[in-house]
Chains A and B, each alone.
Chain A
Amino acid sequence: MTAPLVTFQNVQKWFGDFVAVRDMTLDIHEGEFLAIMGSSGCGKTTTLRMLAGLETPTAGEIRIGGRLMNDVKPHDRDTPLVWQSLALFPYLTARENVEFGLKMRGVSPNERKTRALDWLDRMQISEFAERNVATLSGGQKQRVALARSLVMEPQMLLLDEPLSALDANLVIRMQGVLIQLQKELGITFVYVTHSQSEAFAMADRVVIMSQGDIAQIGAPKDIYRAPANRFVAEFVGRNNILSGKVTDIGAKGVEISAQQGTFVAANPNRPLSAGQSVSFTVSADLVSLSTEEPKTKNKAQATLISEEFIGSIVTVFLEGAAGQDYKVQMQERALAALDLVPGRDVWLSWDIENANILESDL
């Protein structure tokens, strides 16, 4: 494997007493689409701003292409950023906005114009080239902002929640545009967002951050199916979380004795010992519901509380004997066939390989 494009080595960022990034070690590879995701204040934007040189790390090292970047000024970097506010220059036209970076780099007026118009054309907004940016729509501004960064032909593009101001339909369209662009250009995209759907739809790898720490790094599917800890399990998707003590470790799986019963979970990638406390998750869409007691080992009895109906998929909320909450996601027509009545007991069951033991309880 080639050397990573960007390395964060034990990077910390403090603002007074507030720790924005606690101890980050992360590699970003050439040509990958990396999403950094978390709720507000988790340190994701600070991480991005450190990459752009707008914040200086308090401790640790950031390298881009092997070069130590800690004290390199923003204008000496090749890290254009698409801002959440877009930050287009309001007194300039769309073309002048796109030309801005080239002008700063001393590119000749003719070449600037040609390159800017090329990019506006590529973003399908060439007809608005001579319009003041203030008169453009949200989607058009978004494209100007992208063109303004990409005309610099960077190695890496930084994006800070660029789609957060757009309406839902436009977000899906722009996601398509971004994925396409990233594939065609083959450059690294670092995309900061609080939106799971945006991160999972576009990124090759997702970094989940919580209170200045990395909670998990992985491909979207791995994070979704095998959250590493309780924070990720609760933050991502709909997971059922159960805790207990290891009673037996076999070839087929790990037997766990919990308050709700005895379950078998898939063997994790780490050694466990009998008596150890562990938690495991089962995705809501991997749980089956039945009125008859199933014959599998992993089952629990619960009472229907409520349903959340969003089109063809329904989330069913249930409560088990020990007060445990369960979530089950299923097709609406499958649920209708079960003919459930609130208050009546039903059985939940799941396969051993779908029970994922968390790496830590954090």
Chain B
Amino acid sequence: MKVRGSNVALGLYVALIFTFVFAPIVFSLVFSFNSQRFPTIPLGEFSTEWYVKIFNDEDVWKAVRNSVIVSTSTAVLATVLGFCTAYTDFRYNFRFKGPYLALILLPPTIPLIIMALAMLAWLSRIGMSGQLWSIILAHSVLTAPFAMAIIRLRLHQMDPDLEAAAWNLGGTEWQAMRHVIVPFCAPAIVSALCLTAAVSFDEFAVAWFVSGLNKTVPIVILEIVQGNIDPTVNAIGTFVFLTSMTLVILAQLIFISRQIKSHS
């Protein structure tokens, strides 16, 4: 009976956490389909009015286009960077490897606002701020450590003899990379792509500072909120949430399923 009691308590605790995490999102989702202008209960009728409104808003479309370009470019750049760093760590031993790894993992620990200011100062000093690719550069720096961590985890599961076996069977270093290292890391590479894309798609602070006139989706959301409270913000919020959640869940599914497969 005692065990059962504590199980119930733990269950409640978990339910409470999920409630706090997801309730705002669920509310946003519900009100995005609500016909009334202000989020009050009782609800009005079911309506897709706000979706139609953002659908017809050219600014939103521009922002979505910018965000898609930024997040896909960032994902590719950050994953390539992350893969190279993880492979360096796997393959080579050198002096100062500890500090090298620590430096690489540093960016996510810096407060975003500081990072954003520093990025702006640096990029404008070298005349590279205010462009779409300024955001891509800044986001790549920010997300590459995540990509590296995921790929590094996968490389650690690899028998170090595999690469040498490929050389031994007549493969050059590039062939071994293409036919052994990359296929082995494929699930980690795909999850790194999804995760870095999701982080970049959601990121506001750095994008706001370095973007100039190239607004991404989170910046447009802020502008809507600043201008007039209007349920379009719920509609666009739901869209952003679903996009990032899909990417993150995809990343998890791909990585975990391969994990289970390779251990069975």
Q: How far is the CB of A6 from chain B (nearest CB, A)?
A: 16
Q: How far is the CB of A87 from chain B (nearest CB, A)?
A: 4
Cβ 8 A contact of A75, one of B171, B180, B262, B264: B171
Are the CB atoms of B168 and A74 closer together than 8 Å? yes
Residues of chain A in range 75-97 having any CB-CB distance to chain B below 8 Å: 75, 79-81, 83, 85, 87, 89-91
- In the bound complex, CA of A81 to CA of B164 (Å): 10
* Binary contact readout A91-121 vs B (1 if CB under 8 angstroms, 0 otherwise): 1000000001101110000000000000000
A100-B179 in contact given A52-B168, A73-B167 (Cβ < 8 Å) = yes
Residues of chain B in range 161-215 having any CB-CB distance to chain A below 8 Å: 161-162, 164-172, 175, 179-180, 183-184
Query: Is A152 interfacial (CB-CB < 8 Å)?
Result: yes
B162, closest chain A residue (CB): A87
- In the bound complex, CA of A156 to CA of B166 (Å): 17
Query: Is A194 interfacial (CB-CB < 8 Å)?
Result: no
Query: Is B45 interfacial (CB-CB < 8 Å)?
Result: no
Query: Is B159 interfacial (CB-CB < 8 Å)?
Result: yes
- In the bound complex, CA of A83 to CA of B169 (Å): 12
Are the CB atoms of B184 and A148 closer together than 8 Å? no
- In the bound complex, CA of A74 to CA of B161 (Å): 13
B157, closest chain A residue (CB): A90
* Binary contact readout B222-264 vs A (1 if CB under 8 angstroms, 0 otherwise): 0000000000000000000000000000000000000000101
Are the CB atoms of A83 and B170 closer together than 8 Å? no
Residues of A contacting B171 in the complex (Cβ-Cβ under 8 angstroms): 75, 100-101, 104
- In the bound complex, CA of A100 to CA of B175 (Å): 11
Residues of B contacting A83 in the complex (Cβ-Cβ under 8 angstroms): 161, 165
Most chain B beta-carbon contacts within 10 A, residue among A79, A87, A103, A152: A87
Cβ 8 A contact of B169, one of A73, A91, A101: A101
Residues of B contacting A103 in the complex (Cβ-Cβ under 8 angstroms): 179
- In the bound complex, CA of A91 to CA of B187 (Å): 11
Residues of A contacting B166 in the complex (Cβ-Cβ under 8 angstroms): 89, 100, 104
A90, closest chain B residue (CB): B262
Residues of B contacting A52 in the complex (Cβ-Cβ under 8 angstroms): 168
Are the CB atoms of B165 and A105 closer together than 8 Å? no
Are the CB atoms of A89 and B180 closer together than 8 Å? yes
* Binary contact readout B73-91 vs A (1 if CB under 8 angstroms, 0 otherwise): 0000000000000000000
Query: Is A134 interfacial (CB-CB < 8 Å)?
Result: yes
A89-B162 in contact given A104-B175, A134-B262 (Cβ < 8 Å) = yes
Are the CB atoms of B162 and A75 closer together than 8 Å? no
Residues of B contacting A91 in the complex (Cβ-Cβ under 8 angstroms): 183-184
A81, closest chain B residue (CB): B168
Are the CB atoms of B165 and A87 closer together than 8 Å? yes
Query: Is A54 interfacial (CB-CB < 8 Å)?
Result: yes
A78, closest chain B residue (CB): B170
- In the bound complex, CA of A220 to CA of B163 (Å): 35
Residues of B contacting A74 in the complex (Cβ-Cβ under 8 angstroms): 164, 167-168
Q: How far is the CB of B103 from chain A (nearest CB, A)?
A: 26
- In the bound complex, CA of A79 to CA of B168 (Å): 7
Cβ 8 A contact of A105, one of B162, B164, B170, B262: B170
Residues of chain A in range 190-208 having any CB-CB distance to chain B below 8 Å: none
Cβ 8 A contact of B184, one of A53, A90, A152: A90
Most chain A beta-carbon contacts within 10 A, residue among B164, B166, B170, B172: B170
* Binary contact readout A149-163 vs B (1 if CB under 8 angstroms, 0 otherwise): 100100000000000
A104-B170 in contact given A90-B262, A91-B184 (Cβ < 8 Å) = yes
Cβ 8 A contact of B168, one of A80, A85, A90: A80
- In the bound complex, CA of A80 to CA of B170 (Å): 9
Residues of A contacting B169 in the complex (Cβ-Cβ under 8 angstroms): 75, 80, 100-101, 104, 148-149, 152
A-B contact pairs, 20 of them (CB 8 A): A54-B167, A54-B168, A74-B164, A74-B168, A75-B167, A75-B170, A80-B168, A85-B159, A87-B159, A87-B161, A89-B166, A89-B180, A90-B262, A100-B169, A101-B170, A104-B172, A104-B179, A105-B170, A134-B264, A152-B169
| Residues of A near any B CB (own CB < 8 A) | 52-54, 73-75, 79-81, 83, 85, 87, 89-91, 100-101, 103-105, 134, 148-149, 152
| Residues of B near any A CB (own CB < 8 A) | 159, 161-162, 164-172, 175, 179-180, 183-184, 262, 264
Q: Which 9 A-B pairs have the closest CB atoms?
A: A101-B169, A87-B165, A87-B161, A74-B167, A104-B170, A104-B171, A105-B170, A75-B167, A81-B168
